[in-house]
Amino acid sequence: MLRLIKWLVILAALFVAWSWLDQHLPRHDIVRIAGTDIKRLDSSGFFDSESPTLQATKTRDVRFINTVYPTGEVRVFRNEDTAWTFPWYAKFDSGNVQAQAQALTSGADKPQWVVVESYGWRVPYLTMFPNALTIRKASGPDETIIPWFNIIFLGACALILLWLYLLWRRFRRRWIAPLLARWRGEPQPEALAIEDETPSLPVPLGRSPFGRLLDAWRARRRR
């Protein structure tokens, strides 16, 4: 039962970590821009709402970029500065991004494909929109994009987690395991084996160094 609870906690932590990374890491979409818009939104704390029934403390104008995927699916991006707040993309040029979007607006008869770098989720019933960071022209609707930032960031996180795991194993082996053994009344294993006190075994002539090392290890295990 405890093992099941442990794995449920681990899976829940992994799901939360994956959701957080998927929400805040940048992604790239190849779309064509169908138009731009500016709407006044009420700031309701967790998310922005266009509902007039919510009485918010303040309102603001938000730029929007309406796009269409090659498959015909639509996607609406908001275009706001992040400044120095989290997530730390240091975006201050939302006006320039909006001007780029207006200049790259195209129709279905002669589409101009662009790459929109953004972060965030599109949740219609929460009125949540991904925030567009940059816009550039694409070579075509099938352009291959390699997310170098995500690869480097996730690789660095994996190395840090591996380092922390190795530190935890070393700490558990040196400090926690002896305390648990003492609490359970089990015999304490020696921290270091003294080579001079290791009983020697007859070693056949012509024994290789690896064989002699293996014999010494077996003798140490028998003590």
pTM of whole model > 0.85?
Answer: no
Q: Which pLDDT tens digit goes with each residue over 200-220?
A: 545 454 555 556 666 666 666
* Residues 33 and 101 sit within 8 Å (Cβ to Cβ): yes
Q: Residue 17 pLDDT > 70, yes or no?
A: yes
As a whole number, the mean pLDDT across the chain is 83
Q: Residue 180 pLDDT > 80, yes or no?
A: no
Average pLDDT over residues 35-47: 73
Q: Say how many C-beta atoms besides its own lie within 10 A of residue 79's C-beta.
A: 27
Q: Residue 118 pLDDT > 70, yes or no?
A: yes
Q: What is the DSSP string of the chain?
A: -HHHHHHHHHHHHHHHHHHHHHHHS-EEEEEEEEEEEEEEEEE-SSSEE--TTS--S-EEEEEEEEEE-TTS-EEEEEE---TTSSS------HHHHHHHHHHTB--SSS--EEEEEEES--BGGGTB-PEEEEEEE-S-TT-----HHHHHHHHHHHHHHHHHHHHHHHHIIIIIHHHHHHHHTPPPPPSS--GGGSPP----TT--HHHHHHHHHHHHHT-
Q: Give φ, ψ of 71 to 5 degrees.
A: -80, -10
Q: Which pLDDT tens digit goes with each residue over 51-71?
A: 444 444 578 889 999 999 999
Q: Give φ, ψ of 162 to 5 degrees.
A: -65, -40
